[in-house]
Amino acid sequence: MTCFKHFAMALMVGALLMVAAPNAAQAAGKPSYGCPTGFDLGALTVDQIVKLPRSQAAIAAGAVSEAGIRAGFASVDKNGSGRVCAKVSNGLLTSNKPNGEFLLNIVDDNSSVR
């Protein structure tokens, strides 16, 4: 069972990294554009993501730990703004991937950090 938890954790972190898009607005003086279209949960902090029902269900099911969620968040927050854009992906929800019902699609927000 421990091997499965490691696999699930690696899968979740990999999914987070796979959807992380390069941030083009990191240079100072660039305007803040916020979240891309479709990221209906908006820009969230790591504490907000941990409190989401989907995250709480994943923790309760043993699919991921809070530390794992925080590590995934840190790997996506390239501009260091403390926020990432999130949405629930119907494709992830209905896929045959293990723990797909717990996954969120997250990308770095397009804000500049000054």
Does some domain include residue 48? yes
Does some domain include residue 114? no
Q: What confidence category does residue 98 fall into, taking pLDDT thresholds of 50, 70 and 90?
A: confident
Q: How many domains does the chain have?
A: 1
Q: Are 69 and 9 in contact (CB under 8 A)?
A: no
Does some domain include residue 38? yes
Does some domain include residue 52? yes
Residue-number span of the structural domain to which 38 is assigned: 2-108
Does some domain include residue 113? no
- Per-residue model confidence as pLDDT tens digits over 15-66: 544 544 444 344 445 555 678 888 889 999 999 999 998 899 889 999 889 9
How far is residue 83's CA from residue 108's CA, in Å, rounded to a whole number? 7
Regarding pTM above 0.75, the answer is no
Does some domain include residue 46? yes
Does some domain include residue 87? yes
Does some domain include residue 66? yes
